[in-house]
Homo-oligomer: A and B are copies of this chain.
Amino acid sequence: MNIGDAAAQSGLPAKTIRYYEDIGLISPDRSSNGYRDFSEDHLHKLSFVQRARSLGFTVEECRALLSLYEDRGRASADVKTMARSHLTQIGEKITALQAMQATLSELVDKCHGDDRPDCPILDGLAGNKTEESI
């Protein structure tokens, strides 16, 4: 199977697949004309990586997950540990974003947003505590 079909079936852009080969994540065969040749197994791995990436795992984590996936003697505890640590990071990111959201909405709410220059958002960014600003 050529890269175009592999891309279509895995949901990854062809460029990304080439990149994954570059960094040694997958190693498709080559046809006699030099084209990459993807087997079902390769396709499977690509989809695996696509899903792991869409869950926010880094490429290096995907590499580790892939090798656990291939390892018939793995301990599911190892996978669970990775997943949990990733969950922690996701949680931290959400918390950080929610803090930004809270601060920024507060500022936005205070800003009347008209043609006057007076702006609590800019004041807030400038470090001024703007209790009242009209």
A interface list, Cβ under 8 A from B: 44, 47-48, 51-52, 54-56, 65, 68-69, 71-77, 79-81, 83-84, 86-87, 90-91, 93-94, 97-98, 100-101, 103-105, 107-108, 111-119, 121-122, 124-127
| Complex CA–CA separation, A134 to B133 (angstroms) | 62
User: What residues on B are CB-neighbors of A71 within 8 Å?
Assistant: 117
Grouping DSSP codes into helix (H, G, I), strand (E, B) and loop, the A interface class, with mixed when no group exceeds half, is: helix
| Complex CA–CA separation, A31 to B80 (angstroms) | 56
- How far does the Cβ of A76 sit from chain B's closest Cβ, in whole Å? 4
Identify A75's interface contact among B117, B126, B127, CB under 8 A: B117
Identify A69's interface contact among B51, B94, B100, B125, CB under 8 A: B125
| Complex CA–CA separation, A107 to B65 (angstroms) | 14
Pairs A–B under 8 Å by Cβ, sample size 21: A44-B126, A47-B126, A51-B124, A51-B127, A68-B122, A69-B122, A73-B117, A75-B117, A76-B113, A76-B119, A77-B113, A79-B111, A80-B108, A80-B111, A83-B107, A83-B108, A83-B121, A87-B105, A87-B108, A90-B101, A94-B94
